């Protein structure tokens, strides 16, 4: 089983996006929007956590696979807090290790205020681990999210792990989970191979450095 040390913390982040109060503007998500986002990312995290790590022999060396799921971004800057939940779609080319896709459609809260964030975080580049690093992958992440009042910029990389083992088929992986952390952010997982994630990502809130992380999941 893939075990998340802070699975309850991740779900608490999801729950933090609920509650009452919002701006009366078209950009603001409804409480139903927030609850749907919370349920989606919580369900994705729990399903991936139940998968066993993908064995090296079950990771393809050719072909492509698309992993669709959820993403969550949590950042802080002084007394400011950003908590956003979105969709994620990551494609991996197993022959080259290259990735593509994006995380988008973010809703959540900034300083307790309900927001919808335009823009996307793009996946690109990348590499698939082999040998001692079999079961892991890396993808570049970059993009800008705009809530109308605040602008969030992400740049760097995220490290991920394959999860699940199908008994037949060309691609026997079942899912992925990935993390990108900034300097000063606490490692939040003991997923095998990801239990000591270095800082791989930079984040800025309105042009100034912010501390936090990005998590994304996907199933094929």
CA distance 123 to 125: 7
Structural domain tally of the chain? 1
**pLDDT in the model for residue 5:** 32
What are 141's strand-pairing partners?
123, 156
CA distance 93 to 143: 21
- CATH code of residue 38: 2.40.160.90
**pLDDT in the model for residue 119:** 97
Both tokens assigned to 113:
């205020």
Both tokens assigned to 38:
């919370």
Query: Is 1 a member of any domain?
Result: no
Task: List Cβ neighbours of 215 (8 Å cut-off, separation of 6 or more).
Answer: 10, 45, 71, 72, 177, 178, 179, 188
CA distance 71 to 86: 5
DSSP three-state, residue 118: strand
CA distance 84 to 132: 34
Q: Which residues of 85-115 are buried (b: 16+ CB within 10 A; e: fewer)?
A: bbbbbbbbbbeebbbbbbbbbbbbbbeeebb
Query: Is 199 a member of any domain?
Result: yes
Q: Report in angstroms the alpha-carbon separations of 21 from 30, 106, 118.
A: 10, 18, 20
Query: Is 70 a member of any domain?
Result: yes
Query: Is 30 a member of any domain?
Result: yes
Each residue's pLDDT tens digit in the chain (220 positions)? Answer: 333 333 334 444 444 444 434 443 436 888 888 888 888 888 898 888 889 999 999 999 999 999 999 999 999 999 999 999 999 999 999 999 999 999 999 999 999 899 999 999 999 999 999 888 889 999 999 999 999 999 999 999 999 999 999 887 767 899 999 999 998 886 545 455 455 667 889 999 999 999 999 999 999 9
Query: Is 2 a member of any domain?
Result: no
For the stretch 27-38, pLDDT in tens is: 688 888 888 888
Give the closest residue to 103 by CA, choosing from 45, 74, 145. Answer: 145
Query: Is 54 a member of any domain?
Result: yes
H or E segment to which residue 115 belongs:
strand 113-128
The range of the structural domain enclosing residue 26 comes to 7-219
Q: Which residues of 34-66 are buried (b: 16+ CB within 10 A; e: fewer)?
A: beebbebbbebbebbbebebbeeebbbeeeebe
**pLDDT in the model for residue 16:** 43
């Amino acid at each position: 089983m893939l075990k998340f040390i802070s699975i309850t913390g991740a779900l608490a982040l999801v729950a933090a996006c609920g509650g009452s109060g919002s701006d009366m503007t078209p950009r603001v998500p409804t409480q139903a929007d927030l609850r749907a986002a919370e349920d989606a990312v919580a369900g994705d995290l729990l399903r991936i956590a139940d998968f066993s790590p993908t064995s090296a022999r079950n990771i393809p060396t050719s072909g492509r696979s698309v992993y669709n799921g959820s993403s969550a971004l949590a950042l802080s800057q002084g007394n400011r807090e950003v908590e956003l939940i979105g969709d994620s779609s990551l494609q991996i080319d197993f022959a080259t290790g290259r990735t593509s896709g994006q995380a988008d459609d973010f809703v959540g809260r900034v300083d307790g205020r309900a927001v919808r964030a335009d823009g996307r975080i793009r996946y690109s580049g990348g590499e698939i681990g082999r040998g001692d690093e079999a079961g892991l992958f890396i993808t570049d992440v970059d993009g800008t999210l705009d809530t109308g009042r605040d602008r969030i910029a992400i740049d760097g990389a995220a490290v991920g792990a394959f999860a699940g083992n199908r008994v037949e088929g060309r691609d026997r992986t079942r899912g992925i989970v990935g993390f990108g952390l900034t300097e000063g952010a606490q490692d939040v997982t003991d997923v095998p191979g990801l239990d000591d994630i270095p800082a791989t990502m930079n984040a800025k809130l309105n042009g100034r450095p912010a501390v936090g992380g990005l998590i994304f999941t996907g199933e094929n």
